[in-house]
Structure 1
């Protein structure tokens, strides 16, 4: 049985704890994150070894991705966002282990009202009509809205940031689903800061499972390579 056929069979029938063998210099990395579609990475480079995440969350969908594994492909990736609107700020996104490592988001946002504010990645980088044209939350798998730690969440659900009494929020978020490469890359999409607190899907409002009932959009910016 070929490596690819074995990988697909094993992932579908044996679960995430199955080791996938190398064959002819080809090795496979199978990653399963937060009940989202499993990402089955196959590369053609010699050397290295097969690795697998044995996360207990199982998915009934598998995405098969071919990707290069030379040193340049594995280098740390960075992106930046300049937020504009009623509030302003600059954010830096860093992914140290692409394509599957978590992405760290940090920076400072000014001129917010004191308190919590919904903080999301939205689907579109179109700001031609202001923040409203950035579309809804980035949600390629059609999930309900939730908290970053929930199994049921949008890729773009990053919870809340907290502004102090001076209207300043320090952002320090690490998220396992946001990526700067691969099939769920957020490059070219938008970060949006909302006027109100995100209820994380638990508020019982008509919009809780869609937007977290986080109110209007007070700042936004396109995520670009840095």
Structure 2
């Protein structure tokens, strides 16, 4: 069981912001995506995401002793446009656990297509009003495995000769609850391949030169 002393030692490193959200105290140490440490005193347990390239920034979630154990969260995206499909997002261990994105998208051209979570769930003007890639930590565009990436950077999906892409992605930054939640934002599928920030120009570090938006949908709780 983690003691209050341990928590105080960790937080004293340099906390700059503390907010209260639904009886959960969120502590963020820097404006960069953090290592997430989840302490649940109801279960006498703690867990953290441990990507090899994670920064020394720590996001601490402290729950009161009577907090119920976290339950899996699930969301659905219905994609519409030139292409269409349905995706299911599942986070088994919120808020620190990875999120799995599964489903299929049809009516694509064969080959690679950029696949991202965008800032807004506003599709009133079509996919164009979804804004840019979701990027709450002010990073450059990159590959999903890069430290320097937008939170919404999910790389490419691959459509087969019949124009169908089967999606099965697990990502450590995408979350369905807490400060990093993507619920209410939009998934966008692009016409071309994402160069993953390696295109050698300014646009590559913003959008990956993935081209137009051929499908989009809002992420909603299921």
Do Structure 1 and Structure 2 share a fold, with TM-score over 0.5? yes
Q: For residues 99 and 211 of structure 1, what CA distance do their matches in structure 2 show?
A: 27
Match of 1:90 among 74, 86, 102: 86
Q: Which stretches in structure 2 are left out of the alignment for 5+ residues?
A: 15-26
* Contact residue 109 and residue 170 of structure 1 kept, 8 A: yes
Output one character per residue of 1:168-191: Cα deviation in whole Å (capped at 9) or x when no partner. 111111111101011100000000
- Counterpart residue number, 1:211: 207
Misfit runs of 4+, over 2 Å = 1-5, 35-43, 49-69
Secondary structure in structure 1 of the residue aligned to 2:112: strand
User: Which SS does the other structure have where 1:129 is aligned?
Assistant: strand
Contact 1:114–1:165 (CA under 8 A) maintained in structure 2:
yes
Cα offset for 1:37? 2.2
Deviations 1:142-168 (A, max 9, x none): 001000111111110000000111111
Checking the alignment, whether the CA contact within 8 Å between 2:97 and 2:172 is kept in structure 1 is yes
Instruction: Indicate yes or no: 2:149 matched with 1:153.
Output: yes
Deviation at 1:75, TM superposition (A): 1.3
Residue of structure 2 aligned with 1:103, choices 99, 103, 106: 99
5+ residue gaps, structure 1: 13-29
Q: Relative to total residues, which structure has the larger strand share, 1 or 2?
A: 2
1:198 Cα deviation from its structure 2 partner? 0.1
Instruction: Give the Å deviation of 1:7.
Output: 2.3
Deviation string for 1:3-56 (max 9, x for gaps)? Answer: 3432213x56xxxxxxxxxxxxxxxxx9xxxx732334455x445134556655
Alignment length (residue pairs): 204
CA distance in 2, matches of 1:102, 1:50: 15
1:205 Cα deviation after fit: 2.9
Trace 1:1-226 onto structure 2 (pairs within 5 A): 3=5, 4-9=7-12, 36-43=33-40, 45-51=41-47, 57=53, 59=55, 61-67=57-63, 69-71=67-69, 74-226=70-222
Is the contact between residue 187 and residue 218 of structure 2 (CA under 8 Å) also seen in structure 1? Answer: yes
